[in-house]
A and B are shown apart, each in its own frame.
Chain A
């Protein structure tokens, strides 16, 4: 929980005043409108810029002109950006609520390391060379590490600190393995150095279809957990007193976060900071009620991810900067600013 925001414990018991609720609903609509604009920009802007007119033509009346082909190429990338962004933001928000740790990030729980280790294994020992082939490995790597962190973190008795420690420990061991493989196998190094920065550039329709079912299930699960997680955020004792089933909520939240983040990482490589930063920004204007945080994070995270992707295409034209690099370079300073602004940052 944010430390300097006023406690809004009434959120669970009494509904917010109608005007504030209306304002929040309007804000959500506004965010969705911004998302549409950013998505259009993501299709229009690139090495070759298109006018909105051409974008419209390519989207709805495609006849195979040069512009239409470009739109087609960028469409998959934009859709993947939308899906992955929403998944990362949502899983970050859920993890922060679950661990009561404002710094919880899929990377902290070892999910990125699990996916990376699985991909490098796929390349080196199974001879997988296509991105569609990695996706399954990355996903199962992420899921396996998520489950392992959960078990080592104490499963139903997991505490925030134990989960973070277990994640750090497993990441360390896996990165050691990753580096050992990269040093001894040039082919793995050649692929991994591009995979580990996180990029939307290689998105294809088949990648999207592979991860879509997982993202759908994860999103539904996460959004449904808003209420019980609200109770968990108040502390174990209060949550129990309010009748929340702590063990089940934690297990389901961990499952949702792992599925979402695992699928997103599988499709575009490890992307840091989207899951960390967006929930913070959202919380600063919604307050601590997860019933608002989760939808806002779902809508605003893709804005950040697609925005970063567009920025990466613009600054390095005609080449491009991978989105994972841009999010970290934007996200790092924002994160430090947030840490500095707060009176006491709780870990």
Chain B
């Protein structure tokens, strides 16, 4: 599609104006449709296949009792967890990449995922805890790691590069702890730990949906309210300060939101790799607009995760390979493709 300028400014009397980026709006709409379509396809996939039309009818409340049980009790929560986790990771990744001003500044690289993993492994290996306890452990691990990274990177403000570098250091320590815990585990615990570490949506139910939904309902508006300030800080701290943006406060609030989003998503589904890294990059390329692209990243994350889970179920059979394997391989492949094409375009 060749683009002309697709921005429209809407002016209201009294000097108020709103810039509408039509292309971004279209991208968001298409991504939402894609996410929902992938969700419906995912509900229909499994040992008992259900056609898409029946899925939609059942979701609307007109299915048979059998379909109703499978769709609403078994598979809908899984899809909702997938959508929410993907959305949280996409949004969290966009925030981290914007704050660190680095396309590699995703939670995978910064060590949040490894911190969550350490929390979960402590519960799995040392306490042989239940699924709920593992979730709590991962949440505590993720939040503690986020706090540690922020405090260690703080030195009269948090600087983009320092954040990434401190994150890499923290990530290596957490990885070593995880490796140690894995060598201490017995075989059953180790297998359980590896599945958790890959990131999986298997067996997620309504108990995971509600807390995630509540968290997203609170945090997403907070993040979007701070988006304007974030866009300014991307021009540099000095410029943003001069424009009246309280840089460190905006950054602190958004970082807290990002850590909460990513930690909650990781606690719910495990450290699904690369969604947080690729979603903002893909969204940015689709909208072709500068800035953090928060809403497109959110939708892209949701669509990516559910589509990846669907692809994994279709390609390898129901519940054979967790979604994290697919996102890891796809994410790496995507990054390579990016590298080759960007080089041809002379951008890297």
Contacts and interface: CB of A to CB of B under 8 A. Distances in A.
Range class of the B interface residue count: 35 or more
Interface string A160-200: 01100110111111111101101110100110011011000
A176 B329 contact: yes
B152 A336 contact: yes
A193 B183 contact: yes
A81 B177 CA distance: 22
A190 B166 contact: no
Contact of B194 (A182, A272, A346): A182
Contact of A172 (B172, B182, B332, B348): B332
Interface in A183-222: 183-184, 186, 189-190, 193-194, 196-197
A345 interface: yes
B333 A179 contact: no
Interface stretch (B20-28, B154-162, B244-252): B154-162
Given A183-B325, A332-B169, A346-B161, A322 B343 contact: no
Given A322-B183, A347-B164, A173 B172 contact: no
A152 interface: yes
A170 B194 CA distance: 21
A176 to B, nearest CB: 3
A21 B169 CA distance: 34
A7 to B, nearest CB: 20
Contact of A333 (B168, B173, B179, B340): B173
A51 interface: no
Range class of the A interface residue count: 35 or more
B32 interface: no
Nearest to B188: A186
B172 A273 contact: yes
Contact of B187 (A190, A328, A345): A190
Given A103-B168, A152-B339, A186-B187, A173 B329 contact: yes
Interface string B319-332: 01110111111011
Contacts of B109: 168
Contacts of B159: 344
A159 to B, nearest CB: 7
B195 interface: yes
A175 B329 CA distance: 8
A184 B183 CA distance: 18
Interface in A310-332: 321-322, 324-325, 328-329, 331-332
